[in-house]
């Protein structure tokens, strides 16, 4: 691991930090590394600017939505079924069949928060990013009447 010296295991503090991080897989296009100037030139292209602004819009809408639902449990997504599935996988499969240790409570809380974030992302994408075809159908249908 990148956070330890040579081949020693990370300490509990470092493992807690690693558990709270989010890993992103990044791939390289081509076989050569690119300079910062090439990266900035790539980002300055109009299609990349559009993609970046759409991503920023998605993240801002998700953040605003999560802030709005933060103190109101009624607005939270129903994670009952997902948590039951994960509970079965954690306790019956991972612990029961493979004999691995039980999941730490903080990891379960992080999983719940990640599931809420995914639900908010799906809701924001459905409302703001995907075409609302039902309204288009209503407009076309009313024009024929």
The string over 90-114, giving b where at least 16 C-beta atoms fall within 10 Å of a residue's C-beta and e elsewhere, is beeeeeeeeeeeebeeeeeeebeee
Answer yes or no: is 41 within a domain.
no
* 81 phi, psi to nearest 5 deg: -65, -45
Answer yes or no: is 27 within a domain.
no
- Alpha-carbon distance of 9 to 21, in angstroms, equals 17
Q: Which pLDDT value is given to residue 81?
A: 95
Least confident of 12-26, 89-103, 130-144: 130-144
Q: Which residues have a Cβ under 8 Å from the Cβ of 124 and sit 6 or more positions away? A: 58, 61, 62, 65
For the whole prediction, is pTM greater than 0.85? no
Which helix H or strand E contains 21, and what residues bound it?
none
Tokens of 74: 């009624």
Answer yes or no: is 82 within a domain.
yes
Answer yes or no: is 68 within a domain.
yes
Domain carrying residue 95 = 47-132
pLDDT tens for 3-47 read 556 677 778 888 777 777 766 666 666 777 778 898 899 889 999
Q: Which pLDDT value is given to residue 13?
A: 81
Answer yes or no: is 58 within a domain.
yes
Answer yes or no: is 28 within a domain.
no
How many domains does the structure of the chain reveal? 1
Q: Which residue has the higher pLDDT, 6 or 86?
A: 86
Answer yes or no: is 9 within a domain.
no
* pLDDT greater than 50 at residue 1: no
Please check whether residue 115 is in contact with residue 84, taking contact to mean a CB–CB distance below 8 angstroms. no
Answer yes or no: is 8 within a domain.
no
pLDDT tens for 49-76 read 999 998 899 999 999 999 999 989 999 9
Mean pLDDT value across residues 120-142: 71
């Amino acid at each position: 691991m990148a956070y330890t010296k040579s081949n020693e295991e990370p300490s509990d503090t470092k493992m807690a930090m690693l558990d709270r991080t989010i890993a992103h897989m990044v791939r390289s296009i081509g076989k050569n590394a690119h300079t910062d100037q090439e990266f900035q030139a790539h980002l300055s292209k109009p299609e990349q600017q559009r993609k970046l602004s759409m991503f920023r819009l998605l993240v801002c809408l998700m953040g605003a939505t999560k802030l709005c639902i933060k103190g109101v449990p009624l607005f939270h997504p129903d994670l009952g079924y997902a948590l039951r599935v994960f509970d079965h996988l954690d306790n019956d499969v991972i612990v029961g069949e493979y004999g691995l240790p039980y999941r730490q409570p903080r990891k379960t809380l992080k999983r719940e928060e990640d599931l809420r974030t995914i639900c908010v992302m799906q809701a924001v994408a459905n409302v703001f990013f995907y075409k609302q075809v039902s309204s288009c159908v209503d407009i076309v249908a009313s024009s024929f009447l």
